[in-house]
Amino acid sequence: MNKRFLSRVQFKRWLRNASALAISISVLYGDYEKARIQSSDSKSLYSIVSAKGFQLPKGQYLVSYESDSDFEDTSIDYSKMVMVMTLEAQLARSKRVIGTKAKLLNALSESNFKFVMTESDDSSFTNGMWVVEPQVPEEIEELKGILEAYAMAYAFNDGTDTINLNNFKFNRKSFELG
């Protein structure tokens, strides 16, 4: 399949989106260690293309690619994921912000945790997220600390394939006023 770009801006935008998509796919499908290795090239490409001052030569661009027919399983292994809920809303009268969504995203990014968040429209102030559960005990404890501080609710997989009172935690701290 071929895709033609008439400008550098279009090509750069597509390249940035394609590398971000490659990172997400490598994290969501398969085991975590393999995803770390596979996503490194995509992360490098994304950071290069996203860098301020990155310039491409003038002209048209043609990208050729084909689907990978070896990839059979299209389901995500949620047993290696942590379900997270977050919120952020602006109060009508005072314009103050309630919630800790921005702090949660910042803490997860700073600690290099991989996550995917559902995008919501302006009418919704909650977001669902899936965070890749780390394999190292110290990283698991760090993630629990971040979620306890900033997530509205979260659930680690406990092997039951359900969200229940043993694995679901609700956090009142996430309703703080900003």
Task: Answer whether residue 137 is part of any domain.
Answer: yes
Judge whether residue 140 has pLDDT over 50.
Answer: yes
Task: Answer whether residue 113 is part of any domain.
Answer: yes
Last residue of a domain, one of 12, 39, 64: 64
Task: Answer whether residue 126 is part of any domain.
Answer: yes
6 vs 25, residue with greater confidence: 6
Last residue of a domain, one of 64, 99, 114: 64
Q: Quick one: DSSP state of residue 133?
A: P
Please report, as a single letter, which amino acid is at residue 69: S
77 vs 80, residue with greater confidence: 80
Give every CB contact of residue 77 below 8 A, 6+ residues apart in sequence. 29, 30
Q: What total number of domains does the chain contain?
A: 2
**Residue 34 pLDDT:** 47
Provide the token pair at 90.
């602006």
Exposure on the CB side of residue 170, measured as CA atoms within 13 A: 4
- How are beta strands 97-99 and 2-5 bridged, if at all? unpaired
**Residue 121 pLDDT:** 52
pTM of the model: 0.57
Last residue of a domain, one of 40, 64, 88: 64
**Residue 36 pLDDT:** 47
Same domain, 53 and 124: no
Distance, in Å, from the CA atom of 113 to the CA atom of 103, rounded to the nearest integer, reads: 14
Judge whether residue 35 has pLDDT over 50.
Answer: no
Domain that holds residue 57: 2-64
Provide the token pair at 132.
């890749």
Task: Answer whether residue 25 is part of any domain.
Answer: yes
